[in-house]
Chains A and B, each alone.
Chain A
Amino acid sequence: MLDLDLTFFSADLFEKFILKGLLFSFQLTFVAMIGGIVFGTLLAMMRLSGMSWLALPATAYVNGMRSIPLVMVILWFFLLIPFVIGRPIGAELSAFITFTAFEAAYYSEIMRAGIQSISRGQVYAGQAVGLSYGQNMRYVILPQAFRNMLPVLLTQTIILFQDTSLVYAIGAYDLLRGFEISGKNMNRPIEAYLLAAVTYFVICYSLSYCVKRLQRRIAIIR
């Protein structure tokens, strides 16, 4: 057995190497969640619009994104964005765009299920009181769909937080990279990887515990 020495880990080290990565991972998760839910809802509405010129591209986008490994999507965007806008962008900015675009596909499937879970009667009632399509969506359907799907959306966000570690492929500075670099600097790589695993576990486990409690509360209200 090898002796583990965790004493190398200090508040100073945390501030110097890890905090920056932790903040980036949280920012990336948050931006991709908000952006992903907004674009995902739009994609879901396109797919359910019943107009094939809207539904077909949205379906192709969602299925395409979902059938490619995330690492490849990250690499694609990192290659294509500079190619399209004509100048290089940093790995961090590229990650924000990639994760928003990628997660939109997954959130859109959740929102689609949410919208479809609203009973027909609700839609007809909205139409009957004279709401336009947009008003019906805005005031009747989407609030309920969003609420029904809240636990699933949050679970997807936990998966998203775990997936942010894959920015490793383009060398962005995230939580994992922070631990890796401090492990290299202190010559304690094994302990650093263990601490990284513990950190991710604590964050994800407590988040999923909260989601479970939320789910129970929502179930009672309904």
Chain B
Amino acid sequence: MGYRWDWEVFLRDTGGDQTYLEWMLSAWGWTLSVAACSWIIALAVGVFIGTLRTLPSRALTTIGNAWVELFRNIPLLVQIFLWYHVVPALFPVMRSAPSFLLVICALGFFTSARVAEQVRAGIQSLPSGQRNAGLAMGLTLAQTYRFVVLPMAFRIIIPPLTSEAMNIIKNSSVAFAVSISELTLFALQAQEETSRGIEIYLAVTSLYMMSAFAVNRVMAWIERRVRVPGYVGAGR
């Protein structure tokens, strides 16, 4: 195909005192910070909810299950709209919240349901003797979780958490819908302004792939660092 490439588009001025390249790099920064902040929320909430679902209390298990079903059965885009349009209207406290905060709550809670599912599976995959041994030694249930169950469960679930971490980078692209100036919104707007869609999409796509690959490497490194010799397989 006789397509005439025009990579100089990235050096063109956007009319806002910066080039498209600079705009793209700052958009990349937004993508990474949305993903990173949401990941922190997702991990914290997900570990909490996932642990609830394994406790010997019927009520807590039900709460945990309801949480997971709620956040898993509504599309991410709808959840983002809920946080962006509905939450500020229902709770006046949130009215002045920046959209960045609302988006990381949406993405974080959405992912927390998936993390909770992995955490529950990880805890339940441990032989029950481990928990019983902890309790038999006189540890309280909380201590058993803190010193026996969770440290092993975390190591087991690192591979599925790796793919969730890569998913969160990809899912951060949905934030374009509420005008977070991340990579996808940059791609849409720059494509419209310059009509050099192919060059711009190629650059944006490779930034997404690089980010996901970097996450993959970091998680593999963590997996190697924390492995218990002779127990859980090492990262690739």
Which residues of A are at the interface with B, using a C-beta cutoff of 8 A? 1-2, 67-72, 75-76, 79-80, 83, 162-163, 165-166, 168-169, 176, 189-190, 193-194, 196-197, 200-201, 204-205, 208
Contacts and interface: CB of A to CB of B under 8 A. Distances in A.
A32 to B, nearest CB: 15
Interface stretch (B16-24, B68-76, B97-105, B218-226): B68-76
A79 B197 contact: yes
B74 A200 contact: yes
A79 B201 contact: yes
A57 to B, nearest CB: 18
B201 A75 contact: yes
Nearest to B209: A67
Nearest to A164: B75
B48 interface: no
A34 B4 CA distance: 37
Contacts, number: 99
A166 B184 contact: no
Contacts of A197: 74, 78-79, 82
B205 interface: yes
A101 to B, nearest CB: 15
Contacts of B37: none
A80 to B, nearest CB: 8
B197 A1 contact: no
Interface of B: 69-70, 72-79, 81-82, 85-86, 89-90, 166, 169-174, 176-177, 184, 187-188, 191, 197-198, 201, 204-205, 208-209, 212-213
B75 A72 contact: no
Nearest to A194: B86
A81 B186 CA distance: 21
Contact of B76 (A2, A67, A79, A162): A162
Given A70-B170, A205-B69, A75 B188 contact: yes
A151 B184 CA distance: 33
Contacts of A193: 78, 81-82, 85-86
Nearest to B70: A201
20 contacts: A68-B170, A68-B208, A69-B172, A69-B184, A69-B208, A71-B176, A72-B184, A75-B188, A168-B77, A168-B177, A169-B176, A190-B85, A190-B90, A194-B86, A196-B81, A197-B74, A197-B82, A204-B74, A205-B69, A205-B73
